[in-house]
């Protein structure tokens, strides 16, 4: 019997080297932005620690229709409640699609809120508040960024949810969203599912020919689409409307 201990076969060594190379290549293929996003995600979804100096900030949750913006807003506010923080939630008075008072997501989650006619009312109603949530910010006036920043300076965490583009597919001119996204410490862009091809959707395609800038509606008025399906739909509509 051979007294020497068995040595690794060349095939075993070769397999080990190939496995190591495969892992290295796979790791290199993961974009750095994923690592960065995970780091920011841990910070973004953590409730503020209010021992010592109280500091506020602004978070914006944006995306196309049916992307889960309101659901994410409710989730963050519920977590703040679990952390025993004082919260205030606001919605525009004109948005009564699901309920006059509650904020309701498309998956039927809800949370009580205060309907307001304008953003100036939010400041008056946020005394002694740790976290303020604002849903459907696209229906608010252009003073909303100033209100959000003032609250942040007061030490309030402000969470705002809204669509980031209007129905023609542009950042709304004169609206609060571009300035809010610039002022915010954290911006989360969510994606829906394109109803034409199944790819991630970033646009809200208006199904009707109504050209009003503000049109409150649901599935009968809008559907989420990816960039390519949105542009194709807009081109088809223009061709039909052309004389």
Domains in the chain (CATH in brackets) are: 54-190 (3.40.50.300)
**pTM score, two decimals?**
0.71
Catalytic residue among 41, 47, 53, 136: 136
Q: Catalytic annotation on 136?
A: yes
pLDDT tens for each residue of 7-40: 555 555 565 565 566 545 545 554 443 333 344 4
Residue 126 tokens read as 């946020």
pLDDT tens for each residue of 135-181: 988 888 889 999 999 999 999 999 999 888 877 777 766 678 888 99
* Burial annotation 123-159 (CB, 10 A radius, 16+ → b, else e): beebeebbbbbbbbbbbbeeebbebbbbbbeeebbbb
């Amino acid at each position: 019997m051979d007294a020497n201990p068995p040595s690794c076969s060349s095939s075993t060594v070769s397999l080990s080297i190939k496995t190591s190379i495969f892992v290295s290549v796979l790791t290199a293929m993961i974009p750095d932005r994923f690592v960065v996003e995970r780091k920011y995600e841990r910070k973004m979804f953590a409730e503020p620690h209010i021992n010592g100096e109280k500091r506020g900030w602004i978070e914006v949750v944006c995306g196309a229709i049916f992307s889960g913006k309101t659901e994410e807003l409710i989730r963050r506010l519920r977590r703040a409640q679990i952390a025993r923080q004082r919260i205030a939630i606001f919605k525009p008075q004109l948005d009564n699609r699901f309920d006059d008072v509650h904020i309701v997501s498309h998956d039927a989650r809800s949370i009580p809120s205060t309907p307001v006619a304008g953003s100036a009312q939010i400041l008056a109603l946020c005394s002694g508040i740790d976290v303020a949530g604002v849903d459907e910010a696209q229906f608010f006036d252009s003073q909303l960024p100033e209100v959000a920043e003032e609250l942040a300076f007061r030490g309030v965490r402000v969470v705002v949810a809204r669509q980031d583009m209007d129905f023609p597919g542009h950042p709304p001119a004169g609206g609060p969203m571009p300035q809010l996204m610039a002022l915010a410490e954290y911006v989360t862009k969510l994606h829906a599912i394109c109803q034409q091809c199944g790819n991630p959707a970033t646009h809200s395609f208006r199904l009707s020919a109504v050209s009003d800038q503000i049109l409150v509606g649901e599935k009968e008025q809008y559907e989420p689409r990816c960039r390519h399906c949105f542009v194709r739909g807009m081109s088809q509509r223009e061709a039909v409307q052309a004389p």
